[in-house]
């Protein structure tokens, strides 16, 4: 016996959800699948309290499935699985060009779509620039961005404090 919940998203993007189960360990459980294959992306069984999962979803149309499977022999726990707070955030289909350092210390980036065309972003509140000196810890640069006709002007007052500075563009 099984129950299935299914949806389709268009990637790329990030999927986040919370799940928990209370079944017979190793025999019953809740599994998550990306695509139409039979290999699960994640599975839980036994008494598992709420856990958050995050998955990067590839480009194109992707079928997402959660399946709770139960064998008919033994009843243990509540014999149930739960899913909550499912969220899919599409990736910003953009990449940054090589920056130009301007005389006032600000950086000018061209913003491109993933196929190389100029991307005309118009609303700075829809994107977030983040900076890092080590590619591990990222700091949001708030009120530092001006967008005009496919160009992003970034003013990073902390740039001169680090010998190396990395930037990324995120959708808010």
The last residue of a domain, from among 90, 124, 146: 90
Q: Are residues 81 and 114 in the same domain?
A: no
Q: What is the pTM of this model?
A: 0.57
Question: Per residue, what are the HEC states of 29-53?
Answer: EEEEEECCCCCCCEEECCCEEEEEE
Distance CA 160, CA 172 (A): 26
CATH code of residue 74: 2.60.120.200
Distance CA 66, CA 32 (A): 5
- What's the length of the chain? 172
Q: Are residues 78 and 14 in the same domain?
A: yes
pLDDT digits (tens, 9 = 90+) for 82-128: 999 999 988 766 677 787 877 777 777 777 666 666 555 555 566 67
In eight-state DSSP terms, residue 77 is T
The per-residue pLDDT for 149 is 65
Residue-number span of the structural domain to which 138 is assigned = 94-171
Distance CA 129, CA 153 (A): 11
pLDDT digits (tens, 9 = 90+) for 35-70: 877 778 899 988 999 999 999 888 888 999 998 888
């Amino acid at each position: 016996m099984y129950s299935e919940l299914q949806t389709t998203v268009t990637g790329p993007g990030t999927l986040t959800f919370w799940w928990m189960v209370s079944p017979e360990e190793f025999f019953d459980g809740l599994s998550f699948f990306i695509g139409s294959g039979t290999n699960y992306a994640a599975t839980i069984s036994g008494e598992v309290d709420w856990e958050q999962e995050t998955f990067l979803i590839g480009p194109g149309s992707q079928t997402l499935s959660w399946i709770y499977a139960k064998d008919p022999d033994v009843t243990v726990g509540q014999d149930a699985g739960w899913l909550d707070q499912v969220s899919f955030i599409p990736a910003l289909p953009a990449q940054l060009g090589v920056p130009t350092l301007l005389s006032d210390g600000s950086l000018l980036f061209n913003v491109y779509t993933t196929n190389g065309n100029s991307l005309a972003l118009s609303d700075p509140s829809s994107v977030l620039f983040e900076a890092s000196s080590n590619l591990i810890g990222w700091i949001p640069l708030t009120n530092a961005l001006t967008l005009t006709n496919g160009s992003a002007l970034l003013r990073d007052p902390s740039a001169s404090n680090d010998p190396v500075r990395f930037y990324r563009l995120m959708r808010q």
